[in-house]
Amino acid sequence: MEKIFFNSLPLLTTEQLRKTDQIMVDHYQISVTRMMECAGLRFAELTRYYIRNILTNKNSRILILAGKGHNGGDGFVTARHLSNWGLDVTVLLSAPASQLTSMPLEQLNIIRTMPVNIFDINSRKDIKELFIETDLILDCLLGFGIKGAPASTISEYIKITNKSNRPVLSLDTPSGLNTTTGEVYDPCIKAVATLSLAMLKTGFKTKSAQSQLGTIYLGDIGVPYTLYEKINIRTGSIFSGSSIVEVSSV
């Protein structure tokens, strides 16, 4: 996998990330669903890379923690690809399906037709057993829009995850981390690796955030590099050699 230096990359605030998403939709006609498809595929690819190159158990059981927003939708796409590749995948919802927004719900309905185990907090199965029975946890609970400490079910899932001693890969950001300021809320996922989508976040530069992020990877979700010029950021073509790059601090 190709590497790129942290200090050579621009860092975006939450406001800039939201603006980027809006320009993607309004100017480039790239829908949120298309971005969700790319994000989920990249996370599945990183998960497969991690299993093949780092985990000793190549038949790893995977537990995906999914929020009710777009981050959860990305997780459902991830589940679809991993299941298609023959991996044992379980999805744990942070909210009943009735509370999901339309695009994540569409992705959830797809994996309902597949050999993917799906549970939520109201399932008869003891939720804590899912964490014991898994080899690798994928954190798709919260994205860059977090405004405060995780609460209720998501808070419970994060606490169980951190106590499980299972390796965690986070999508876009560890759930519980303020991606603009770098503040680590209580609780916050402690990941062994994080796949940041499209670009790095300003909060990633703080020492407190880096202790939660683990190894940082950057994933291509199809953002045209010319888009960044519209918000006065010049990047060039970061993904010319690979759709996922490892971000190195040295």
- Indicate the domain borders of the chain: 3-248
Convert the pLDDT of each residue in 69-118 to its tens digit: 999 999 999 999 999 999 999 999 999 999 998 999 999 999 999 999 99
Contact status, residue 169 vs residue 134, Cβ threshold 8 Å: no
**Mean pLDDT over all residues of the chain?**
94
How confident is the model at residue 55, as a pLDDT? 85
* Of 129 and 58, the one with more pLDDT: 129
Convert the pLDDT of each residue in 213-245 to its tens digit: 999 999 999 998 889 888 888 887 789 899 999
- As a whole number of angstroms, the distance between CA 132 and CA 174 comes to 20
Residues in the chain: 250
Each residue of 62-94: b (16+ CB within 10 Å) or e?
bbbbbbbbbbbbbbbbbbbbbbeeebbbbbbbb
- Look at 10-24, 132-146, 152-166, 221-235 and tell me which has the smallest mean pLDDT: 221-235
Q: 3-248 — its CATH code? A: 3.40.50.10260
> How sure is the predictor about 145, in pLDDT bands with cuts at 50, 70 and 90?
confident
Of 190, 157, 160, which Cα lies nearest the Cα of 173? 190
How confident is the model at residue 250, as a pLDDT? 52
